[in-house]
Amino acid sequence: MNHGVAGYKLGRSASQRKALWRGLITELFRYDRISTTEAKARSMRGDAEHLISIAKRGQAAGGNPVNARRMAARVITDPAVTKRLFDEVAPRFTDRAGGYTRMIKVGPRLGDSAEMVVLELVEKPAEEKKTTDKKTAPAKKAAPAKKAAPKKKPVEKKAADKKAVPAKK
């Protein structure tokens, strides 16, 4: 009996689960939001939040930024995303003590009715905050409409081209 065994198997071997988590975490930090099943999101959420904590500790006074980057690079598959984690994502959460992600349920998937969620980072990027916070922002001018291409007239077939089909009785 498996008493007290925690974690999600997800119908995969250990190496497949690790690869799945690495891919999901990398995409979460790349796009700040991913859509996946609830079980997958719950299984990788803690690891993603732990990586943000590692990045915050590495940037704090007295922290070891080189070691923190190496620890994050062990999980994140793209060096550009590792750089983004330390340069853009972690500084947004300096005042937050945890709870860096949010799961929003979006309903069942059509194919197999698996419960789908959107997993996103709680703090929005600085550029996005500026645009959403200003309620009195001037409206953007609409782009001039492109002129529609002239419509071609349908070509009529000549009577000689049509073959006579005998009427059925």
- Looking at the chain, list the stretches that DSSP marks H as alpha helix, in order from N- to C-terminal side: 14-31, 38-59, 65-75, 79-84, 90-92, 126-133
Residue 159 lies in a domain: no
Residue 161 lies in a domain: no
pLDDT of 128 over the 90 cut: no
Domain interval for residue 110: 14-129
Residue 9 lies in a domain: no
The number of folded domains in the chain is 1
Tell me, what's the pLDDT at 23?
96
Instruction: Judge whether 81 and 48 are in contact, CB under 8 Å.
Output: no
Residue 138 lies in a domain: no
CATH number, residue 67: 3.90.1030.10
Tell me, what's the pLDDT at 146?
61
Q: Note the pLDDT tens digit of each residue in 62-98.
A: 889 999 999 999 999 999 999 999 999 999 999 999 9
Q: Note the pLDDT tens digit of each residue in 1-27.
A: 778 788 888 889 999 999 999 999 999
Residue 158 lies in a domain: no
Residue 151 lies in a domain: no
- Positive or negative: CA dihedral 66, 55, 94, 60: negative
Residue 21 lies in a domain: yes
Residue 24 lies in a domain: yes
Q: Note the pLDDT tens digit of each residue in 28-67.
A: 999 999 999 999 999 999 999 999 999 999 998 888 999 9
